[in-house]
Amino acid sequence: MATISAALVKELRDRTGLGMMECKRALAEAGGDIDVAIEEMRKSGQAKAAKKAGRTAAEGIVVAKAVDGAALVLEVNSETDFVARDAGFIAFADSVIEKAATEGLLDIEALKASVETDRQALVQKIGENVDVRRVTKLEGGVVGSYVHGNSRIAVLVALEGGNEELARDIAMHVAAVNPQVINPADMPAEVVEKEKEIIKAQPDMAGKPENIVEKMIEGRIKKFLAENSLTEQAFVKNPELTVGQLAKNGGATIVSMVRYEVGEGIEKEVVDFAAEVAAAAAGNN
């Protein structure tokens, strides 16, 4: 058997964009001949799928799954919203979260590696890049989940006490309002300090005595924390109650929450199609 060097694997990775294990396997099957390996990859469709891997996948869906008193949430991305509604794409996402749940695959790279063959097959079928982006498991106490109807927002909430219905109601609120933290005391100090700087720079602070400014900042920070803390927010289904009061009435304390929204934090590529067409036309002249 031919010796497959790390340098040869790296070269094949650079030329195809495929993973290290796929490249090593292809080289072994090709007897160390990189051109033969690439040819076989192209025949199987792997190389074609790899070319699509460089394209930005910022659409997609989020899915959630309850498992043994816990719950998982997963985001799988596509390039377009159209593909995100495709039955095959949805089935793939469901199969990935099932695998994560049954095999305990919570490391995203390990999860990706375990479904890579199926992902490539899906890419070949739909003609778009697909990315298994992230997965989180929430456990302990009572765990509830909520996935919004468009499958673009999913939330997990863990309670100490209460029941799953209460946890789901609170998860639905988190989906709608998107609090930054559970309790005011959880807000990071740097966020509070930044907000203080913003408030202090506002026009109505100019010329006021320092003690008045401090009192005004204190009042506005209190309002800021109330607006952005889950327990202090008015419950969406009954604004006369705060979420904290809702939990207390149900004999529960909110322990943790996870909120996924499709594409958050992904820098989307903006394509100027007019400029692209003009450039292509100029190139043909």
Question: Tens digits of per-residue pLDDT, 15-42?
Answer: 766 677 878 888 888 888 888 887 777 6
Which part of the chain is CATH 3.30.479.20? 59-178+255-261
Q: Are 21 and 113 in contact (CB under 8 A)?
A: yes
CA distances in angstroms from 134 to 115, 143, 243, 257, listed in the order given: 13, 19, 28, 16
CB 77 within 8 A of CB 53: no
Strands (E), 164-233: none
Q: What residues have CB less than 8 Å from 200, skipping those under 6 apart?
A: 213, 217
* Res. 273 pLDDT band, cuts 50 70 90: very low
- Integer Cα distance of 120 and 117 in angstroms: 5
Reduced to 3 states, what is the DSSP secondary structure of residue 254? strand
Retrieve residue 17's tokens. 């964009």
Q: How many CB atoms lie within 10 A of CB 15?
A: 16
CB 146 within 8 A of CB 206: no
Question: Are the CB atoms for 231 and 243 separated by under 8 Å?
Answer: yes
Q: Tell me which of 53 and 72 has the higher pLDDT.
A: 72
Please tell me the predicted confidence (pLDDT) of residue 279: 53
Overall pTM > 0.85: no
pLDDT digits (tens, 9 = 90+) for 191-245: 999 999 988 888 888 888 889 989 999 999 999 999 999 999 999 999 999 999 9
| 172 close to 155: Cβ distance less than 8 angstroms | yes
The whole-angstrom separation of Cα 145 and Cα 147 is 7
Expressed in angstroms, the distance from the first to the final Cα of the chain is 52
**Location of each CATH 1.10.8.10 domain in the chain:** 6-52
Name which CATH class applies to 6-52: mainly alpha
Cβ-count burial of 68 within 10 angstroms (0-12 exposed, 13-18 middle, 19+ buried)?
A: exposed
Radius of gyration of the chain (CA): 25
Phi-psi region of 178 (alpha: psi -120 to 50; beta: other; left: phi over 0): left
H or E element at residue 235: strand 234-235
* Amino acid type, 99: K
Write down the pLDDT at residue 46: 59
- What torsion, rounded to 10 degrees, do the Cα atoms 147, 148, 153, 157 define? -40
Assess if CATH 3.30.479.20 describes domain 59-178+255-261.
Answer: yes
For the cut 80, the answer to whether the pLDDT of residue 129 exceeds it is yes
Phi, psi dihedrals of residue 64, rounded to the nearest 5°: -130, 155
Ranking 11-15, 89-93, 148-152, 262-266 by mean pLDDT, the lowest is 11-15
Bridge-partner residues for 260, per DSSP?
A: 154
